[in-house]
Amino acid sequence: MAEQIISNYRIIEKIGEGGMGIVYLAEHITLKRKAAIKVLNPILSQNEQIKARFVNEAVTLSQLNHKSIVLLYDFTSQDNQLFLIMEYADGHTLSEIIERNEALQENYAVNIFKDILSGFVYAHSKGIVHRDIKPSNIIIESNGNPKILDFGIAKILASDAKITKTGMKLGSVSYMSPEQILGKQIDYRTDIFSLGVTLFETLTGKLPFDTSTDSEFEIQSKIVEGNFKSVKTFNPNISDRVQNAIIIATSKNPNDRFQSCNDFKNYLTITNIKQQQFSVYPYVQKTKVSEIHPVTKNKNSKAGYIIVFTIIGLIAITGLILLLTFGKEENEDKITISKKTESREEDSKNHKESTKEKTMNRTEEVRKLNLEGYYEGYADRFGYDPMEMWITHEDGGKLTGSTTIRFSNGKTGTSGFGGVYYSSTGKISLYETKQTSGSGTIEGTVSTDENYIYINCIFTRTSDGGKYKWHLKKLK
């Protein structure tokens, strides 16, 4: 089909092929915009039901407009063939990346999945279930942004159309949910299961069950009845929060899974944030120096004196010995108590000096921090909105950078900032350089521990004085 013209697009080359059709790279004749054109296999186009499903793909994609989902530009028919003209995502599929790298680092994989989950939150809000989620249906563009492909077998839940009947198993077996395999009624939670399996494979390069068999039935049985392996079996460095997220997402019973992709995304985001909520200066309880009781005079010594004075003549020598003996014990008691007092005072002095030295060391560590780099966290506005910050330049305490907040309503806010970091106090003072109705100032503190640098701020909106918190961190 090279050089063939389809609705003002010139076919360049074939770039992919699936069960429902072939995908070509094309370019608009006038606009020079590249596009991906999907053509239904001519053999399948004779089947009216499959043809109707292909038309359903066009209707489905036309409702979707999200940065993590490929856009539909046009839908047309020509020479008894059907064509979808879609946004061209220039990058590599997640399956290609996994195959090349075997496994992705946790932070990178989780950040990608947050964007993927945002795309599914949007699609599900439109009543659309994907049904065929797998790494090969996700493209990672050269800028790192993921794009979800192939909503062609999706079912529009809000529609009365019965093109896809309950019980028709559409999708790749290894990523199917148990209810999908069993032909039961499915909803958004089947996508959550498939996303959990995909995240598992992204982090390990493996599926959570043995795939050494060629039997589709055995794989289906393992999904429906078997126990999945722990992600830490293949990658022991995975955090508990991500392991738990996968366990929840891939539960056999849909009621035990996350009940929405937003819940899934929030778990990956908020659980991580909660783990950092502790002071950089651990509370040190001062050691209480025990009170030193006054020395009590020895009563036996007093009795000895009475005896001496009463029968001085008879036991003069004995009284003298007793006097010397008890006098010596009393002096030894005083010396012992004095030494204990000196020892305790020395311990208290050493403890105070040690605590002071540790505090000074931590203060000095904060002063020497390099704040440049990538931070992630959340903005506590009306909920927990995922947030990223880049401090791109630090020079003598002067800072510049940018922030991105993904609000729960689906909107994204991006702004640049400038400001000052006061290393002597750990204070930070910023202002947004993009002056809009939502711009404002940021005041907060910088702290650290063995692994992270934390920035905790309060954002104050200039227009109405509204306030909300920012909580961010980055690896040292």
156, 168, 169, 150: which is closest to 56 by C-alpha? 156
d(CA 47, CA 60): 20
Note the helical H segments in 216-315.
Answer: 216-225, 231-234, 240-249, 261-274, 299-310
Q: Which of 74, 79, 90, 132 is catalytic?
A: 132
Strand partners for 75: 84
CA distances from 417 to 118, 350, 433, 442, 469 (A): 26, 45, 5, 9, 16
Instruction: Give the tokens for residue 97.
Output: 């990346």
DSSP state of 184: -
Query: Which residue in this structure is represented by tokens 């120096």?
Result: 289
Mark residue 250 as left, alpha or beta (left: phi above 0; alpha: psi -120 to 50; beta: remaining).
Answer: alpha
- Kindly state the helix (H) or strand (E) to which residue 131 belongs, with its residue range: none
Radius of gyration of the chain (CA): 36
Q: How many residues does the chain have?
A: 476
d(CA 44, CA 444): 62
Q: Is 132 a catalytic residue?
A: yes
d(CA 363, CA 253): 51
What is the secondary structure of 144-158 as a DSSP string? Answer: S-EEE---TT-EETT
Torsion of CA 190, 191, 194, 200, to 10 degrees: -120
For the chain, the 3-state helix, strand and coil shares in percent, each to the nearest 5, are 35, 25, 35
CA distances from 350 to 283, 286, 291 (A): 18, 12, 18
- What sign for the dihedral angle of Cα 207, 67, 92, 58? positive
Catalytic residue ranges: 132
